[in-house]
């Protein structure tokens, strides 16, 4: 191409600039090519006015090309900046929508999951048994060992299930509170419970009735799902009391990835659970909808034993805010008291002072939040729909009970209403009745 160009220039006596204009060839490229071709073919360079004209016009063309390249680079940079800003805005909007959507699509997913067995309503029978217990009719047999399984953060509440255990012991029943690390993962506690149940069974020779509260019910159900071949002849029944079997929006909304402030919230929860409480963050993660869906899909809960799901709705009236709940008692090392016959004081040790915190108030605020945001009834931490185990007998009490009512005592007690101890006895009595009915049906067929 370059040699042909020189031949044309030689034959028609055209200057390089004129030929570049006619052929629409960039003058800067043409000038360079001409010089190289001229040296190769030993042509004489252009002299005189033509060379000056070429020199003066080549510089502006090079400037125009440089300005064009600079403009294109600026355009590309601006386009990349706009695209980056668009992506950031899109991610921000996506995180905002995910935060606002929350757990709306996950609550009650068990009711819509394919292949899940339906539940049965056993509220009326439960209320009949509860009325009999309040009238002094106790029919809970001594042929079982009753194991109470506490929930999350129970290690920091010394009175967790204590009143119920004492109540059962006074009736001559073998009752234990499972010694598990409440802030451990579900699979870890499942293994601990499996070993605990085997020790009780081999030590007493009696099957074990399980009653788990909150995460304790999840741990017990996981033990039966993972180790059913080892426990099928040792466990007689399971009652899940206010347990987030399907998950809880409280845990999911705190640990959901992709929402606003997800990393900061997770770091705060890891600090509280791992550093302050010395627990495992997986204890809270295992209660999210994502983890519960994964576990239930992989590990099926056997329906060969009777199952009871107990859920309630918290009271959100303003009067609840003044309710105090006793979670522990502090023993004072010494307490000076005046003597009756002398003016001198005496030192008395072993004085116990109740530790009271407003748990009911906190549960009422959480229940109100879940009702306003999702339109769901809950006990403050677990929605009613998420507490229903597929294939179980569902019990819905006719009282407003928050999440902590079943395990802690309150200073405001109504003598006309049942307490937590009687509730637990009615649940276990109902569980024994379901087991007897199931055995009769199996023997009939």
Is 345 part of a structural domain of the chain?
no
The whole-angstrom separation of Cα 287 and Cα 252 is: 8
Is 370 part of a structural domain of the chain?
no
Classify residue 428 by burial, with Cβ atoms within 10 Å: 0-12, 13-18, 19+: buried
Interval 92-146: pLDDT, tens: 888 888 888 889 999 999 988 988 999 999 999 999 999 999 999 999 999 999 9
Is 90 part of a structural domain of the chain?
no
Is 298 part of a structural domain of the chain?
yes
Is 366 part of a structural domain of the chain?
no
Asked whether residue 185 falls in the same domain as residue 287, the answer is yes
Interval 405-425: pLDDT, tens: 888 765 556 778 888 999 999
What burial letters (b/e) apply to 97-132, b meaning 16+ CB within 10 Å?
A: eeeeebbeebbbbbeeeeeeeebeebeeebbebbee
Measured CA angle at 276 (ends 273, 193), to 5 deg? 50
Asked whether residue 60 falls in the same domain as residue 134, the answer is no
Asked whether residue 142 falls in the same domain as residue 23, the answer is no
The whole-angstrom separation of Cα 55 and Cα 38 is: 16
Measured CA angle at 310 (ends 286, 158), to 5 deg? 65
In sequence order, which ranges of 210-303 are alpha helices (DSSP H)? 215-226, 228-231, 249-255, 262-270, 282-285, 289-298
Asked whether residue 283 falls in the same domain as residue 394, the answer is yes
The whole-angstrom separation of Cα 204 and Cα 175 is: 12
Query: Of 306, 311, 309, whose CA–CA distance to 432 is shortest?
Result: 306
Residues 6+ apart with CB under 8 A from 110: 116, 245, 246, 296, 385, 386, 388, 389, 390
Asked whether residue 119 falls in the same domain as residue 59, the answer is no
Query: Of 315, 323, 326, whose CA–CA distance to 403 is shortest?
Result: 315
Measured CA angle at 52 (ends 46, 56), to 5 deg? 130
Q: Do residues 222 and 438 touch, judged by C-beta distance below 8 A?
A: no
Dihedral angle of Cα 187, 190, 195, 201, to the nearest 10 degrees: -160
Give residue 87's pLDDT.
86
Of 65, 82, 99, at which residue does a domain stop? 82
Low-confidence ranges of the chain (pLDDT < 50): 1-47, 337, 342-343, 345, 347-349
Number of domains in the chain: 2
Asked whether residue 74 falls in the same domain as residue 221, the answer is no
Is 211 part of a structural domain of the chain?
yes
Q: How many CB atoms lie within 10 A of CB 80?
A: 10
- Here the CATH number for the domain that contains residue 424 is 3.40.50.1820
Asked whether residue 291 falls in the same domain as residue 200, the answer is yes
Asked whether residue 297 falls in the same domain as residue 418, the answer is yes
Paired tokens of 161: 């299930």
Q: Rounded to whole angstroms, what are the CA distances from 155 to 91, 161, 259, 377, 406? A: 41, 11, 31, 28, 16
Asked whether residue 9 falls in the same domain as residue 143, the answer is no
Asked whether residue 253 falls in the same domain as residue 125, the answer is yes
Give residue 8's pLDDT.
41
Give residue 273's pLDDT.
84
Residues 6+ apart with CB under 8 A from 172: 142
Asked whether residue 292 falls in the same domain as residue 419, the answer is yes
Which residue in the block uniquely carries the two structure tokens 């108030």? 361
The boundaries of the domain holding residue 269 are 109-316+378-444
Strand 325-332 vs strand 335-338: parallel, antiparallel, or unpaired? unpaired
Classify residue 302 by burial, with Cβ atoms within 10 Å: 0-12, 13-18, 19+: middle
What burial letters (b/e) apply to 288-299, b meaning 16+ CB within 10 Å?
A: bbbbbbebbeee
Give residue 90's pLDDT.
85
Is 215 part of a structural domain of the chain?
yes
The whole-angstrom separation of Cα 120 and Cα 111 is: 13
Is 369 part of a structural domain of the chain?
no
Paired tokens of 186: 């579900």
Which residue in the block uniquely carries the two structure tokens 């060839």? 25
């Amino acid at each position: 191409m370059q040699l042909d160009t020189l031949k044309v220039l030689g034959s028609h006596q055209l200057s390089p600039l004129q030929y570049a204009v006619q052929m629409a060839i960039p003058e800067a490229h043409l000038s360079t090519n001409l010089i190289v071709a001229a040296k190769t073919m030993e042509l004489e360079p252009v002299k005189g006015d033509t060379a000056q004209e070429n020199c003066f016009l080549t510089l502006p063309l090079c400037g125009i090309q440089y300005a064009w390249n600079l403009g294109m680079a600026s355009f590309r940079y601006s386009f990349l900046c706009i695209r980056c800003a668009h992506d950031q805005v899109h991610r921000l909007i996506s995180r905002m929508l995910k935060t606002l959507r929350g757990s709306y699509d996950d609550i009650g997913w068990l009711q819509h999951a394919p292949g899940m067995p339906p539940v049965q309503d056993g509220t009326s029978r439960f209320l009949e048994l509860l009325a009999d217990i309040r009238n002094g009719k106790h029919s809970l047999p001594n042929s079982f060992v009753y194991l109470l399984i506490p929930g999350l953060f129970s290690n920091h509440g010394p009175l967790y299930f204590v009143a119920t255990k004492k109540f059962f012991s006074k009736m001559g029943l073998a009752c234990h509170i499972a010694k598990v690390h409440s802030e451990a993962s579900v699979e870890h506690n499942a293994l601990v419970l499996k070993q605990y149940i085997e020790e009780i069974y081999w030590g007493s020779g009696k099957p074990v009735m399980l009653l788990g509260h909150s995460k304790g019910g999840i741990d017990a159900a996981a033990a039966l799902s993972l180790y059913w071949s080892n426990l099928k002849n040792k466990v007689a029944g399971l009652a899940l009391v206010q347990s987030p079997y399907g998950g809880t929006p409280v845990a999911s909304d705190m640990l959901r990835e992709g929402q606003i402030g997800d990393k900061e919230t997770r770091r705060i929860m890891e600090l509280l659970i791992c550093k302050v409480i010395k627990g495992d963050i997986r204890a809270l993660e295992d209660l999210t909808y994502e983890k519960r869906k994964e576990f239930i899909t992989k590990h099926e809960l056997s329906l060969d034993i009777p199952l009871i799901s107990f859920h309630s709705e918290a009271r959100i009236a303003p009067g609840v805010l003044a309710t105090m709940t006793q979670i522990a008692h502090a023993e004072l090392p010494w307490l000076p008291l005046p003597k009756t016959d002398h003016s001198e004081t005496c030192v008395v040790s072993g004085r116990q002072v109740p530790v009271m915190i407003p748990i009911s108030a906190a549960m009422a605020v959480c229940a109100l939040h879940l009702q306003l945001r999702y339109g769901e009834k809950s006990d403050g931490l677990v929605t009613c729909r998420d507490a229903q185990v597929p294939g179980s007998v569902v019990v819905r009490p006719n009282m407003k009970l928050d999440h902590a009512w079943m395990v802690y005592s309150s200073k405001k007690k109504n003598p006309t209403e049942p307490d937590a101890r009687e509730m637990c006895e009615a649940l276990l009595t109902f569980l024994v009745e379901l087991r007897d009915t199931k055995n009769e049906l199996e023997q009939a067929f």
